[in-house]
Amino acid sequence: MRAAKHVAGLLGLMFTSEQALAAYQMNLPPGVTSFSQGAYDIHTMVMWICVVIGAIVFGAMIYSIIYHRKSKGAVSAEFHDNTAIEIIWTVIPFLILIAMAIPATKVLLAMEDTSNSDMSIKVTGYQWKWHYDYLGEDISFFSNISTPDAANLSTNASVKKDDTYLLDVDNRLVIPEDTKVRLLFTSNDVIHAWWVQAFGVKKDAIPGFINESWVNVPDPGVYRGKCAELCGKNHGFMPIVVEVKTKEDYAAWVSGQKTAAAEAAASAEKTWTRADLMSHGEKVYATACGACHQANGEGLPNVFPGLKGSAIATGDIAKHIDVVVNGVSGTAMAAYGPQMNDADLAAVITYERNAWGNDTGDVVQPSDIKAAR
């Protein structure tokens, strides 16, 4: 085992040049919840059953290959039927299967029991980010990949890579320890799947459906996951980060979120300077738009239009606001009105109208968005 690790490590070193290597593992990790541990136990049991059956079957084959070969003078036997043995090797596997089915059923039933939860969070998949909505709490936010240089991930090979490469987000899902949290899954566009391996939870987020699951994490910590259902171009770039806090820290986090929400509401009322709009707009653009329209505003030919010099981004402001707020139905251009607040929208539109040499000089204020909604 150690030797195998060594060889694989060496191979890895030879082939992965600049980046430091993160520790790798070969087996399913047991995880931190009762589901993930239940799944791990069954996984281990079934794997060993397979290993034992495999040893018997492959052992018989190898024995036969060694001893029953013509070059050793083996003469073939005449038998070609044996009802007794055929019944035995049908019945024994059946009994083994029953032995596997019993614990599997128990774990499954426990997993599907979402009753008596302490709080609920609605998780919505978007191309290509997650949205979390704390039901009854007035807290909701998007969670985007935030590996350094995230907007350039899909076009640039030389972005920096570290242990959390592709595994970091801007806004983490925060939940309290030792609390039964019910998770509701749905999607705004295509099917995604929310998967945190350490919790043993993988559920599809399907448009028009609400799926349920739950977690109860005993210890604080940071747990990472990924989208597990092909959802288009950036499917590989929509990680999940869950931060489990102690109950006190969680309460502090909740009140912090509420203050921030109040500030954001206030900022939508005020009038922004052009410079503030541009710098905020650049950030919004990088997280929300760059994946398709690209950081340089040139888009991808025939797939996503460029905004640099585009008729809409340099023409009528009302039309521009309309495209961003209401989207273009039947295309990948989603309606951002319901996803963003007025300040973000104003900033990103101002940015698009002035970046990459678009230089229209226009300034869009949050109040313009409000009026257009």
Partner 1 sequence: MSAVIEEHHDHHDHKPSGIGRWLFSTNHKDIGTMYLWFSFIMFFVGGAMALVIRAELFQPGLQLVEPEFFNQMTTLHGLIMVFGVIMPGFVGLANWMVPMMIGAPDMALPRMNNWSFWLLPGAFGMLIASLIMSLMGMGSAPNFGWTFYAPLSTTYGPASTDYFIFSVHLMGISSIMGAINIIATIMNMRAPGMSYMKMPIFVWTWFITAYLLIAVMPVLAGVVTMMLMDRNFGTSFFNAAGGGDPVLFQHVFWFFGHPEVYIMILPAFGVVSQIVPTFARKKIFGYSSMVYATASIAFLSFIVWAHHMFTTGMPVAGELFFMYATMLIAIPTGVKVFNWVSTMWRGSMTFETPMLFAIGFIFLFTIGGFTGLMMCIAPADFQYHDTYFIVAHFHYVLATGAAFSIMAAVYFWIPKWTGNMYDEKLGKLHFWLTAIGGNILFFPMHFVGLAGMPRRIPDYSLQFAEFNAMATVGAFIFGFSQLIFLYNVIKTIRGGEKATDQVWEGADGLEWTLPSPAPFHSFTTPPTVK
Residues that bind Cu ion (CB under 5 A): 192, 227, 231, 235
Q: d(Cα 296, Cα 312) in Å, to the nearest integer? A: 17
Q: How far is the CB of 237 from ligand HEC (least distance, A)?
A: 12
Q: Which is nearer to ligand HEC, 100 or 332 (CB)?
A: 332
Strand partners, 239: 226
One residue of 111, 261, 333, 372 binding ligand HEC per CB under 6 A: 333
358 binds ligand HEC per the rule CB under 6 A: no
C-alpha distance across the termini of the chain, in Å:
62
For ligand HEC, which stretch binds (CB under 6 A), given 138-146, 158-166, 170-178, 330-338? 330-338
List C-alpha distances in Å: 202 to 228, 234, 324: 8, 19, 32
Q: How far is the CB of 81 from partner 1 (least distance, A)?
A: 6
323 binds ligand HEC per the rule CB under 6 A: yes
Site for partner 1 in 299-358 (CB under 8 A): 300-303, 330, 332
Site for partner 1 in 152-181 (CB under 8 A): 153-159, 161-167
Residue in the structure block whose two tokens are 């109860």: 216
372 binds partner 1 per the rule CB under 8 A: no
Within a 10 A sphere around the Cβ of 94, how many other Cβ atoms?
A: 10
List C-alpha distances in Å: 231 to 125, 187, 189: 9, 11, 9
Q: How far is the CB of 262 from ligand HEC (least distance, A)?
A: 24
55 binds partner 1 per the rule CB under 8 A: no
List C-alpha distances in Å: 94 to 49, 60, 100: 13, 21, 10
CB of 317 closer than 8 Å to CB of 364: yes
250 binds partner 1 per the rule CB under 8 A: no
Q: How far is the CB of 263 from Cu ion (least distance, A)?
A: 33
Site for ligand HEC in 270-299 (CB under 6 A): 288-289, 291-293
CB of 239 closer than 8 Å to CB of 195: no
312 binds, among ligand HEC, Cu ion, partner 1, none (CB under 5 to 8 A by kind): ligand HEC
CA 246 vs. chain centroid, Å, equals 24
One residue of 33, 36, 120, 127 binding ligand HEC per CB under 6 A: 127
List C-alpha distances in Å: 18 to 12, 148, 260: 12, 16, 40
> What is the contact surface with ligand HEC in residues (CB under 6 A)?
127, 288-289, 291-293, 304-305, 307, 310-313, 320, 323-324, 328, 331-333, 336, 348, 352
